[in-house]
Amino acid sequence: MPDRSTPRSEPLTLAAFQGWVRDRYYKTDSAHGTPATFLWFVEEVGELATALHGDDQTNKQEEFADVLAWLCTLANINGVDLESAVRAKYLTGPGPSGHK
Report the amino acid identity of residue 33.
G
Greatest CA span in the chain, whole angstroms? Answer: 41
Domain spans in the chain, listed from the N-terminal domain onward: 20-90
> For residue range 25-72, what is the model confidence (pLDDT) as tens digits?
999 999 999 999 999 999 999 999 999 999 999 999 999 999 999 999
Q: What is the pTM of this model?
A: 0.84
pLDDT tens, position by position, 64-86: 999 999 999 999 999 999 999 99
Do the beta carbons of residue 17 and residue 4 sit within 8 Å? Answer: no
| Domain spanning 20-90: CATH superfamily | MazG-like (1.10.287.1080)
